[in-house]
Amino acid sequence: MQHLDEQVWTLLQNDLFLRWTLSADETTTAFWEKWMEEHPDRPGLVRRAQEIIRELSSLENPKDTEQFSADIWADVQARLTTTTPDMAVIRPRATISRRWLYWAAACLLGLIITGTVLRYHNPHNQQVSPQVATHVIDQDLLRTNFSATDREVLLVDGSTVILQPGASIRHAAFLEKDKREVYLEGNAFFEIAKDADRPFYVYTKDLVVRVLGTSFNVTTNKDNGDVTVLVQSGKVAVSKKTNPAHQPLILVSNQQVLYKEQTHDLVQANPATEKVTSYRSSTATSTPFNFEEAPVADIFRTLENAYAIVLHYDQKTFSACAVTTSLTDETFEEKLKIICEAIGATYTIKDNEVFIDGKPCK
């Protein structure tokens, strides 16, 4: 398999795209036809991704695939692991040839897609639950909602973002200490955790939205590119990137501001005619953090999926650990601390990943 374009890779990891390619229905067809209309320059990418999926779907023996997966992964581990005892993280990028990385990535991609393709050919597993796709770019997380419904994304500071279909945010895995910054493409609803010492910034087009703790909606008009910021609660300051010295517009509950893409004007619009209701109540379902005698590995996996943060731990060590707890508005680290204290473990954060250490549970 040749080295893949990053956009092809993104399509191959998208459950909704796989579903459309292998067993199209009205929902997936409508979504991807609209997507192609909005991205007329990408039909070649779509065709390439579909060719790969259909080629992999011709594999008939999952057992052979599983054995191949085990062999490839063992070889990858052997090649990537250095002999230096201190190298706990397997990332010796400087010592590995680019050709090998491309080959390993291509093989592993084939295995990932093959496993997903085989799942679609299983008559007992027809339900698909598309997730937000996450990519790491310059140590930032790019989280994109490729599904046809709104999706909830959690930030480590306790803030929540609801991405509408096609929207994405880019941010540091662990938000910066002095300020929290998120770059938005598309439409999203934000519920920002209060932190007076660390203001929260949302950047979209030429706009900068600064908040301390509030909830608001950012919407881009697909026809003309105009952006509307509508505040549900709290207070926000909206300004333009290109003129940061200009006095920002201050918005409070039920107020909105309009950025005109054509003229680059920023004007405070009339207040919303009706009281702004919680966008969360009728959109994406919140991630459940209620556990009753749950294996700690399941809890760690829930945290990984919700926050897109990688957790390293020894499954054998914690195999007998089970926890009962209900977590709500805590930050990522507060949740992690509660779980670790419950099983007598400790954790450290390094290179935007979490390393958990402890002893077996009795």
Residues 322-349 have pLDDT tens digits of 999 998 888 999 999 999 999 999 999 9
Check residues 358 and 351 and name the one with the higher pLDDT.
358
Q: Is the pLDDT of residue 120 over 70?
A: no
Residue percentage of the chain with pLDDT more than 90: 35
Other residues' Cβ atoms within 10 Å of the Cβ of residue 54:
12
- Classify burial at 328, counting beta carbons within 10 Å of its beta carbon; exposed 0-12, middle 13-18, buried 19 or more: exposed
Q: State the pLDDT at residue 278.
A: 53
Check residues 340 and 94 and name the one with the higher pLDDT.
340
Q: Mean of the pLDDT values across residues 141-160?
A: 89
Contact 293, 285 (CB under 8 A): no
Q: How confident is the model at residue 80 (pLDDT cuts 50, 70, 90)?
A: very low
Residues 262-281: tens digit of each pLDDT: 888 888 877 665 555 555 55
Q: Is the pLDDT of residue 132 over 70?
A: yes
Mean pLDDT for all residues in the chain: 76
Q: State the pLDDT at residue 100.
A: 41
We find that the CATH architecture of domain 290-357 is: 3-Layer(bab) Sandwich (3.55)
Four-CA torsion 14, 133, 170, 177, nearest 10 degrees? -170
Q: State the pLDDT at residue 282.
A: 53
Stretch among 45-49, 93-97, 149-153 having the lowest mean pLDDT: 93-97
Strand partners, 322: 295
Check residues 315 and 102 and name the one with the higher pLDDT.
315
Check residues 114 and 41 and name the one with the higher pLDDT.
41
Strands (E), the chain: 133-137, 140-144, 151-154, 160-163, 168-172, 180-185, 188-191, 200-204, 207-211, 215-220, 227-233, 235-240, 249-252, 256-260, 265-268, 290-295, 311-312, 322-326, 346-350, 353-357
Closest C-alpha among 247, 218, 248, 246 to residue 232: 218
Stretch among 45-54, 55-64, 288-297 having the lowest mean pLDDT: 55-64
What topology does CATH give the domain 133-282? Jelly Rolls (2.60.120)
Check residues 206 and 4 and name the one with the higher pLDDT.
206
Q: State the pLDDT at residue 40.
A: 77
Q: Is the pLDDT of residue 95 over 50?
A: no
Q: How confident is the model at residue 101 (pLDDT cuts 50, 70, 90)?
A: very low
Q: Is the pLDDT of residue 256 over 60?
A: yes
Q: What is the DSSP annotation of 70-123? A: HHHHHHHHHHH--S-TT--S---GGGS-HHHHHHHHHHHHHHHHHHHHHHHT-T
Contact 32, 130 (CB under 8 A): no
Q: How confident is the model at residue 58 (pLDDT cuts 50, 70, 90)?
A: low
Stretch among 68-82, 205-219, 277-291, 293-307 having the lowest mean pLDDT: 68-82
Q: Mean of the pLDDT values across residues 101-127?
A: 44
Q: How confident is the model at residue 118 (pLDDT cuts 50, 70, 90)?
A: very low
Q: How confident is the model at residue 299 (pLDDT cuts 50, 70, 90)?
A: very high
Tokens of residue 130, six digits: 């598309």
Q: How confident is the model at residue 125 (pLDDT cuts 50, 70, 90)?
A: very low
Other residues' Cβ atoms within 10 Å of the Cβ of residue 335:
23
Give pTM, 2 decimals. 0.65
Residues 172-190: tens digit of each pLDDT: 999 887 899 999 999 999 9
Phi–psi pair at 226, nearest 5 degrees: -65, 145
Q: State the pLDDT at residue 138.
A: 78
Q: Is the pLDDT of residue 300 over 90?
A: yes
Q: State the pLDDT at residue 31.
A: 80
Q: Where are the domains of the chain?
A: 6-120, 133-282, 290-357
